[in-house]
Amino acid sequence: MRKFADMVRSIWCCAQQVQGLDLLRCSGWAGVCVVVIGSALSCSGMPSLEEQERHVQANELVLNQLTPRAFVGAWGPPTYQHAEFMQFFGMKDDSLIPRSRLASGEVPRGWEVRIEAGDALFLAYPDHGWLVVFFEERLVYREALTAAQLHALGRSWQHEDKFRSRLEVPASP
């Protein structure tokens, strides 16, 4: 593993010195793949789980920097959770607003004409007053709600789940 890390480091240094397509000539396609994979693994942009949990404990719910595991680690299991395929409205601040949080036919103010879609995970924490939504394992939306609002939302999810077919339920990891 150390040899692999040294190889990635040397190719990375080469990539820093060589610009544009000259990188392809310097290290070949295999080197480019190693640089891309190494960069993705080492520079994912996500803080460590311990740092994420500290943010959650401090009520600093930073978008795109927190995972569901951080919330469960800091606050425990959510009172309610819900997963479904969801459309998101992309906003200028890089947040994503779930379609289900808007009235039918309404678009959010400041919408950037960008839509993303995929499996969303909703966690409701009435004791902390937060609804948090994850897309691709990262926090993309948070909304402060009263405990009563979160309990009502959670009960509606439970009611909907009674009528979902097995095909509508997202696969478990």
Tokens of 157: 């999810």
Domain extent listing, the chain: 2-42, 49-162
Cα(92)–Cα(110) distance, integer angstroms: 7
Residues 12-32 pLDDT 10s = 444 443 334 343 344 444 443
- Per-residue confidence (pLDDT) for residue 19, from 0 to 100: 39
pTM of the entire predicted model: 0.67
Contact 99, 89 (CB under 8 A): yes
| pLDDT-derived band at 7, boundaries 50, 70, 90 | very low
Give the pLDDT score at 117. Answer: 93
Backbone angles phi, psi at 69, to 5 degrees: -60, -35
Higher per-residue confidence, 160 vs 112: 160
Nearest-angstrom CA–CA distance, 43 and 99: 31
pLDDT band at 42 (very low <50, low <70, confident <90, very high): very low
Give the model's confidence band at 171: pLDDT under 50 very low, under 70 low, under 90 confident, else very high: low
Q: What is the pLDDT of residues 65-108, one digit of tens each?
A: 999 999 999 999 999 999 999 989 888 877 888 888 887 777 77
Question: Would you call 101 helix, strand, or coil by DSSP?
Answer: helix
* Tens digits of residue pLDDT in 143-161: 999 999 999 999 999 988 8
Instruction: Indicate the average pLDDT of the chain.
Output: 76
